[in-house]
A = this chain, B = another copy of it.
Amino acid sequence: MQTVADEVGVSRSTVSNAYSRPDQLSPELREKIFDAARRLGYAGPDPAARSLRKGRVGAIGVLFSATLSYAFTDPYAVQFLRGLAETAELHDTGLLLMPLAEDATAAAAAVQNAVVDGFCVYCLPDWHSAQAAMRLRKLPVVSSERRDAGDPEARFVAIDEAAATLAAGRYLAALGHRRIALIADWIVPERETRPVATARPEDVPYYVSRERLAGYRDAFAEVGVEWPEIATVNAAQNSRAAAAQAASCVLDRAPRPTAILAVSDMLALGVLDALHTRGLRPGRDVSVIGFDDIPDATTAGLTTVRQPALEKGRQAGALLLNPPEDLAQRQVVLPTELVVRASTGPAPDA
């Protein structure tokens, strides 16, 4: 096969330089090489070969536990990804989306074979086989959860989940709410919508739900409402429909809770749907609180905990692509804020 180097009568190094280090050769020669390349249909250095040689791929793997469509259905996720993409673009890096199959072996294989420079873990349950597979790769990993904080090498950009719901819970407790229901996804690993009375927060396998539930537990414990008195319902997934169904489990039996607390706005909106169906008034008959502060929360008048999704994504990207020397600075905790709207109010029986 006729190579560009042969055609021009130079060495392969020189052709390589023409593409990657223009300052290393004369402009005329460079042009001559490009000419020949065009003639021969050579498109420039092969990215795979270049990756092997340079040890850099130009892509980071984004791990999802869910299907793509769930991931992108949640505006919070979209904002996070957008921030990540912004930073990635600055570093000439693409995002390799890796929706992980249910099949643990397949998921681990996907992680093992991913052609990436690092991983961004987002919404991945602790028990997932991909977690272990990632560690093996010895690539940098950044998490959007406060994970392995004990490990000084761990990188994350997180929020203080438990503190956020502690504050939200105290606010509700102060309003007099004592009959409480919590709705979360992955309280149990099964994807079923049903009450899961026995679980303690510590038993919840999914970090985010675990922490947020713990915050609520602590808040209500302060006013004498113990954990077993609080109804907990597992949502099959982080969707409005699942949450509406979950809400049914507690709304359709007496005594009805005076407040329903969801670990995400998507879930909280579903709770509002369930109230609406029953002619119940949010903030009057039943208070509802969410988490994230997605745009629809404003429209719906949903009280919620705001977290900086976009900024989380941006900083996650930076932690991966341009990590600070100081290890401590690789563990970022961003602030949250309780945003009170119309969906919460004094407990009706207070």
Q: Which of A29-61 contact B (CB under 8 A)?
A: 41, 43-44, 46-52, 55, 57-59, 61
Contact assessment for B99 and A96 in the assembled complex, using a CB-CB cutoff below 8 Å: no
Chain B residues whose CB sits within 8 angstroms of the CB of A115 once the complex forms:
47-48, 51, 57-59, 115
Query: Beyond A48-B115, A115-B48, A137-B43, is A79–B85 a contact (Cβ under 8 Å)?
Result: no
Chain B residues whose CB sits within 8 angstroms of the CB of A116 once the complex forms:
47
Q: Tell me whether A112 is interfacial, beta carbon within 8 Å.
A: yes
Report A84-123 CB contacts with B as 1/0, cut-off 8 Å. Answer: 0110010010111111010000100110111110000000
Query: Beyond A95-B97, A96-B95, A98-B94, is A113–B47 a contact (Cβ under 8 Å)?
Result: yes
Interface centre among A57, A72, A136 (most CB of B within 10 A): A72
Q: Tell me whether A3 is interfacial, beta carbon within 8 Å.
A: no
Q: Tell me whether A78 is interfacial, beta carbon within 8 Å.
A: yes
Nearest to A99 among chain B residues (CB) is B85
Q: Tell me whether A82 is interfacial, beta carbon within 8 Å.
A: yes
Query: Beyond A81-B68, A96-B96, A115-B59, is A89–B101 a contact (Cβ under 8 Å)?
Result: yes
Q: Tell me whether A322 is interfacial, beta carbon within 8 Å.
A: no
Nearest to A138 among chain B residues (CB) is B43
Contact assessment for B43 and A136 in the assembled complex, using a CB-CB cutoff below 8 Å: yes
Closest chain B CB from A98 CB (angstroms): 5
Closest chain B CB from A275 CB (angstroms): 18
Contact assessment for A48 and B52 in the assembled complex, using a CB-CB cutoff below 8 Å: yes
Contact assessment for A112 and B43 in the assembled complex, using a CB-CB cutoff below 8 Å: yes
Alpha-carbon gap, A115 to B47, bound state (A): 5
Chain B residues whose CB sits within 8 angstroms of the CB of A48 once the complex forms:
48, 51-52, 55, 57, 115
Chain B residues whose CB sits within 8 angstroms of the CB of A136 once the complex forms:
43-44
Contact assessment for A109 and B94 in the assembled complex, using a CB-CB cutoff below 8 Å: no
Closest chain B CB from A177 CB (angstroms): 32
Q: A-side interface residues toward B, CB under 8 Å?
A: 41, 43-44, 46-52, 55, 57-59, 61, 67-69, 72-73, 78-79, 81-82, 85-86, 89, 92, 94-99, 101, 106, 109-110, 112-116, 136-138
Given A61-B94, A68-B85, A94-B96; 17 other pairs, CB 8 A cutoff? A44-B136, A47-B116, A48-B51, A49-B52, A52-B52, A57-B115, A58-B114, A59-B59, A68-B82, A72-B81, A73-B78, A89-B99, A92-B109, A94-B98, A94-B114, A95-B97, A115-B115
